[in-house]
Structure 1
Amino acid sequence: MFFLISYEVDLSSYADPETPSRGDHAASSARFIRAEQGWIVTGALNVRNLQEATPQLRQIEDAGDTQLDMSQLDALDTAGAYMLQKLRLKIEASGAEFQFVNLKPDHEALIERVALAMPRPDPVSTSRLSVTDLLERMGRGVVGAGMFLVELIAMLGLFLARLAYLLRHPSEFRMTALVHHCDQVGWKAVPIVALMGFLIGVVLAFQGSVQLRQFGAEIFVVDLIAISILRELGILLTAIIVAGRTASSFTAAIGSMKMREEIDAMRTLAIDPATALFVPRILALLITLPILGAIANVMGLFGGAMMAWIELGISPGMFMTRLLEDTSLDHVIVGFVKAPVFAMIIGVIGCHAGMQVGGNAESLGAQTSAAVVRAIFMVIVADALFSVFFAIMGI
């Protein structure tokens, strides 16, 4: 950044006795006189009279190729040198040539110093990416994704190792932390999960009734609601909601402790961070996510039954009979098998992102956002893999 600090080059000590004093220099304004070879500047060009010289400088900008004779310039400070340098840059930018002539040594040194301090915009790269560059970026992205998966597997292995250790030494297990996290992850998520499940059931029943009524197959709306909620939507949407509120919570809590160097303090006190921080959080998810999934399933069926009753006239008794007769237990099992896997994914990603937080708040915010996005993405990918697997197995 260019800081304009005005100081004046005083040549009074080198001038003749008849040369005006410094005070007279300050008072005399600079004048730009048209000459055969260009322009001649006289007087003093400094911060005190720069405003008066500005209109004359604008006339020179439109003069094309020109020279500025500086032999009669009595005083010059950094403000004047800055304006002269801007004048030269503008004229040269228009394609014309500009030259200082008959510069005094002090004025020349000052103008050169100001020219070196002028701000220069960063060069804009206009080169197009080649095929090699695109392949390099793609390769780096693939390697980065692979390294991220390796780190997640390492975090999962660390959790399993610490869990096995605690099973052998139950006295070191932190039951209070587990109960606390079960309350935060599970109990406080019940309202939003229940509301989500209810609304999903209502939407499925309404949309299903609109489509099935065209074929006189309204009764099959019960099968649509049951299979959609029990097999896919109940546990999947519950996992997405938990990923949004819990993965961010884990990352923010662990990341804040890392920023405040509390994790280093725990290691100093011979407290293993994985045992104290990771195991209670991930274990709480493993316990509560299936329960939340069951709540979402029940509320989804309840909302679907209400809408089927209102829209299609299917009584709750008929809905329940159809549900028990035509819905296989396999759909319920398929949904609940996914719950522990989703819980493990969310917990591992949230704890891993918390340990990646640096020493500033910007890093904490970036890792928190990344944890939510990664957790939701991995949950959807895992659900897709489950769907393919169960389809191949015929379940």
Structure 2
Amino acid sequence: MSGEDATEFSLEPADDGGTVHLFGALTVRTVTAAREKLQALDPETVTCIDLSSLTRLDTAGAWALVTLKPGDGSERGFEITGASDKAQSLLRSVEKALPEPETPPPQDTSLVAWLERFGRKVHAGGLFLQALTGFLGIFLHRFARSLLHPSKFRLTSLVHHCEEVGYKAVPIVALMSFLIGVVLAFQGATQLRQFGAEVFVVDLIAISILRELGILLTAIIVAGRTASAFTAAIGSMKMREEIDAMRTLGLDPGLNLFVPRILALLIMLPILGLIANVAGLFGGALMAWIDLDISPAMFMTRLIEGTSVDHVFVGLVKAPVFALIIGVVGCHAGMQVQGNAESLGRMTSNAVVTAIFAVIVADAVFSIFFARIGI
């Protein structure tokens, strides 16, 4: 076999009998160009492909012949002749190894099937809530045990996580709240100016930020950056079997991993909420001064006279609940990570979505509750 035959491929146009003869080597080096030529064959004039003049055929070439379909999209294939015993064996092996296309089972669209799918989803949601409740119980139990045995409490880890979830989140939380205050003041001034009630923009800003937006948007930001961080950190440890190693050494993952993280959130989220409130009021006061000529002194007077301290209480009392939700969801998702990177990415994404959704639902429940009791 010459060097030219080993690296080149050619075919002869169809003869009177509709047979195309292949020459040279049909290998991985020539299969791309060869496949283009083979797919260009006209199924109306070509019925057979002769391999008797091929000098070499490998798995790639056999795949090109086995999967060959005419370029016009018809399903009729070509008859292959002239193959040696070795080539026939290779063609049969490649054909057997081809994956069979999976046909998805037809989906039942009846009412009974829909009710079954809905029931399964409700059941799965109930199991998920049960699992989250279990993780909350693990945290409370381990935290109580650390109070009874202070030597087991990881103070260094707590300080580290306070820095990660609280101190490093201050810039983005303050900036977000400042801009929210600016937007509220600008939009409120635009609407209230029509009624000559520009001074009430102070009440609008104060109630909106102190009661709802300050702590809610802070919790959403913390859920996005902290729930994902908890899931990624614990999930990576799960993938590397570090949690199994901790159990082997007699170290409790709940005490060493969950308690410092969730407790750091419980401590830092109310502080971040206060920072968000101050930044939001400052942004609103600045825009009111620019757009409505409400001086800072007048803004402060109106704020003190027209805003009850109950609004501050309503906002900050939500912070510990939001912190528990974010921490429990993040830690639970991290422990569900399997031994691959795809699982880690999926659980991290699920943790962020679940934490944000749960925070918004909890805020809605709080709003209804406080409205009912008249606060």
Q: TM-score, normalised by structure 1?
A: 0.78
**Residues 62/289 of structure 1: CA separation in 2 closer, same or farther (3 Å cut):** closer
C-alpha RMSD of matched pairs (Å): 3.8
The corresponding residue for 2:285 is 305
Q: Secondary structure at the match of 1:47?
A: strand
Deviations 1:221-279 (A, max 9, x none): 01101110010001001111111111122122222222222222221221111111111
CA distance in 2, matches of 1:47, 1:105: 14
Deviations 1:20-71 (A, max 9, x none): xx99xx9xx9878756x76597xx86628999x999978974346957899x
Match of 2:43 among 35, 41, 62: 62
Q: Secondary structure at the match of 1:243?
A: helix
Match of 1:265 among 231, 241, 245: 245
Q: Partner letter of residue 273 of structure 1?
A: P
CA distance in 2, matches of 1:182, 1:84: 60
Residue correspondence of structure 1 range 204-223 to structure 2 within 5 A = 204-223=184-203
Question: Which 5+ residue runs of structure 1 have no aligned equivalent?
Answer: 1-21
Count how many residue pairs are aligned between Structure 1 and Structure 2: 365
Q: Secondary structure at the match of 2:337?
A: coil
**Residues 64/244 of structure 1: CA separation in 2 closer, same or farther (3 Å cut):** same
**Residues 109/92 of structure 1: CA separation in 2 closer, same or farther (3 Å cut):** farther
The corresponding residue for 1:335 is 315
Match of 1:389 among 363, 369, 374: 369
Report runs of 4+ in structure 1 exceeding 6 Å deviation. 29-33, 48-51, 53-60, 67-70
Is structure 2 residue 353 aligned with structure 1 residue 376?
Answer: no
Q: Partner letter of residue 292 of structure 1?
A: L
* CA deviation after TM superposition for structure 1 residue 358, in Å: 2.0
Match of 2:156 among 167, 172, 176: 176
CA distance in 1, matches of 2:297, 2:235: 51
The corresponding residue for 1:318 is 298
Deviations 1:125-165 (A, max 9, x none): 49455235544443333222222111110000000111111
CA distance in 2, matches of 1:104, 1:244: 62
The corresponding residue for 2:276 is 296
CA distance in 2, matches of 1:291, 1:105: 80
The corresponding residue for 2:109 is 130
**Residues 243/299 of structure 1: CA separation in 2 closer, same or farther (3 Å cut):** same
Deviations 1:107-128 (A, max 9, x none): 8954862662474562454945
CA distance in 1, matches of 2:62, 2:321: 67
Q: TM-score, normalised by structure 2?
A: 0.82
Q: Secondary structure at the match of 1:357?
A: coil
CA distance in 2, matches of 1:341, 1:171: 27
**Residues 390/46 of structure 1: CA separation in 2 closer, same or farther (3 Å cut):** same
* CA deviation after TM superposition for structure 1 residue 342, in Å: 0.2
CA distance in 1, matches of 2:371, 2:193: 29
Q: Secondary structure at the match of 1:222?
A: helix
Is structure 2 residue 320 aligned with structure 1 residue 344?
Answer: no
Q: Secondary structure at the match of 2:318?
A: helix
* CA deviation after TM superposition for structure 1 residue 215, in Å: 0.5
Query: Contact 1:244–1:372 (CA<8 Å) still a contact in 2?
Result: yes
Structure of higher CA gyration radius: 1
Query: Contact 1:81–1:110 (CA<8 Å) still a contact in 2?
Result: no
* CA deviation after TM superposition for structure 1 residue 98, in Å: 6.0
Q: Partner letter of residue 140 of structure 2?
A: L
CA distance in 2, matches of 1:299, 1:54: 66
Q: Partner letter of residue 294 of structure 1?
A: L
Residue correspondence of structure 1 range 236-255 to structure 2 within 5 A = 236-255=216-235
Q: Partner letter of residue 252 of structure 1?
A: A
CA distance in 1, matches of 2:25, 2:99: 23
Q: Partner letter of residue 116 of structure 1?
A: E
Query: Contact 2:43–2:70 (CA<8 Å) still a contact in 1?
Result: no
The corresponding residue for 2:334 is 354
Q: Partner letter of residue 162 of structure 1?
A: R
